[in-house]
Amino acid sequence: MAGAKRQPQKRRRTTKRRPVKGKYGYLLAALMAVLCVLVSAGRDYLPQLGGWLETLGLSDVQQPQAPGAVHFIDVGQGDCALIQSGGKNILIDGGENNQGQRVVAYLQGLSITELDMVVATHAHSDHIGGLDVVMRAIPTKTLLMPKSAPGKTPTTKTYLDMLQAADETGAELVYAAPGQQFSFDEGKIEVLGPTEQYEDANNTSVVLRFTYGQTRFLFTGDAEKKSEKALLGAGTDLRADVLKLGHHGSDTSTSTDFLQAVSPAYAVACVGADNSYGHPSQQTLDLLGSRGVALYRTDLQGNLLFNTDGQHITVQTQK
């Protein structure tokens, strides 16, 4: 557990509305004008306003309560996480194609004007779909992504859109490799995998660990048991306090041996409400329960914020 003490969970719900500032000022004025039109048009249209606000991400954004923070942004059935270390910001994945603006709004709600790194864990659209929108809206220094096996470079429009956005905005393209380390203020990111080349896109997922002080967070993309086994076979130190479950908590990931090696206090399942895949699987839920791992789910608790001072971790949920 990397020496970190497991503290009782502190679940806070943010209800206080913060003023909309800066870039949102003009948008708020426009929305007020729309509200006036809706009021005059009749009550049938009023409920739409709340949905528009939610879609644009103008609901409250949880502010970090410690120098280190990891956000798991609710993008439905997809992955998106934000690491904040001092003044540095690292985004891991960006949800589906229709989630880009939601992610941008969340980042702007935190007054983020630059991303030090964007990590595209693998080429599936529920992970990288929104990244082209994000990179065009917020300057990005580095795009970290897996290197494809020979003859297996993705050709989907989603993948090409992401690469085009990186090229147009000047983001440096870096291919992930085990052993790479990136320092961000007092935090550090280590690339742990993949340790082998795979044809299946899920197993090409970049596996990385964020360390802040004595606390550790492990991100696995959609890595499945085959990739997990290779990591274990390579003797990789996988210990972490927080585990982002592979493949949305599917039974294709999170083997007993892998979970034992990570030994997390907390696990996170990034899943959509009532998703058709049955994520997270009952097998995964039972395994986590048998190990006493506290599970947080974006479908049930919305945006998740893990605060760390380098010694202790506290958790905030928002739904």
Residue-wise pLDDT tens digits, 12-68: 444 333 333 444 444 444 444 444 444 344 434 333 444 444 444 445 678 998 999
171 and 53 in one domain? Answer: no
Same domain? For 150 and 293 the reply is: yes
Count the alpha carbons within 13 Å of 177 in the hemisphere toward its beta carbon. 4
Residues 307 and 222 reside in one and the same domain: yes
Indicate if 53 and 169 belong to the same structural domain.
Answer: no
Question: Taking the model in full, what pTM does it have?
Answer: 0.82
pLDDT of residue 55: 45
Structure-block tokens of residue 29: 């004025």
User: Same domain, yes or no, for 178 and 37?
Assistant: no
The confidence band for 5, taking pLDDT boundaries of 50, 70 and 90, is very low
Q: Is residue 14 a part of any domain in this protein?
A: no
| Helix residue ranges per DSSP H, 64-217 | 100-109, 125-128, 131-137, 157-169
What would the pLDDT profile of 121-155 be if each residue is shown by its tens digit?
Answer: 999 999 999 999 999 999 999 999 999 988 889 99
Residue 100 has pLDDT above 70, yes or no: yes
Q: Which domain holds residue 143?
A: 60-318
For residues 51 and 142, state if they share a domain: no
The answer as to whether 244 is a domain residue is: yes
| Across 261-276, average pLDDT | 95
171 in the same domain as 142: yes
Residue 51 belongs to some domain of the structure: yes
Residues 310 and 173 in one domain: yes
How many structural domains does the chain have? 2
Of 169, 67, 65, 158, whose CA–CA distance to 120 is shortest? 158
**Mean of all residue pLDDT scores within the chain:** 86
For residues 192 and 30, which has the higher predicted lDDT (pLDDT)? 192
Beta bridge partners of 72: 81, 304
What is the pLDDT at residue 319?
A: 76
Is 222's pLDDT higher than 60?
Answer: yes
pLDDT for residue 60:
63
Domain of 182, CATH number, reads 3.60.15.10
* The predicted structure's pLDDT at residue 86: 86
Q: Which residues 6+ apart lie within 8 Å of 107 measured at CB?
A: 82, 89, 91, 115, 134, 138
pLDDT reported for residue 61: 79
134-171-302 Cα angle (round to 5): 30
233-236 contacts, C-beta under 8 A, 24 or more apart: 233/195, 234/178, 234/195, 236/178, 236/192, 236/193, 236/195
Contact 119, 91 (CB under 8 A): yes
Which of 30-44, 156-170, 271-285 is the least confident region? Answer: 30-44
Q: Which of 110, 85, 190, 185 minimizes the C-alpha distance to 144?
A: 190
Is residue 6 a part of any domain in this protein?
no
- Domain-located, residue 4: no
Boundary residue ending a domain (11, 36, 59)? 59
Q: Which of 59, 75, 108 is the last residue of a domain?
A: 59
CA dist 100 and 134 (Å) reads 6
Checking if the pLDDT of 216 tops 50, the result is yes
Task: Indicate if 126 and 249 belong to the same structural domain.
Answer: yes
* In-domain check, residue 264: yes
Are 164 and 55 part of one and the same domain? no
Q: 98: which DSSP letter? A: G
Is 11 domain-assigned? no
Interval 167-180 mean pLDDT: 98
45 and 89 assigned to the same domain? no
The pLDDT score that the predictor gives to residue 150 is: 86
Asked if residue 13 is part of any domain, the answer here is: no
> Both 287 and 243 in a single domain?
yes
Burial of 291: CB neighbours in 10 Å, binned 0-12, 13-18, 19+: middle
| Residue 305 dihedral angles phi and psi, to the nearest 5° | -130, 120
Mean pLDDT of 3-17: 42
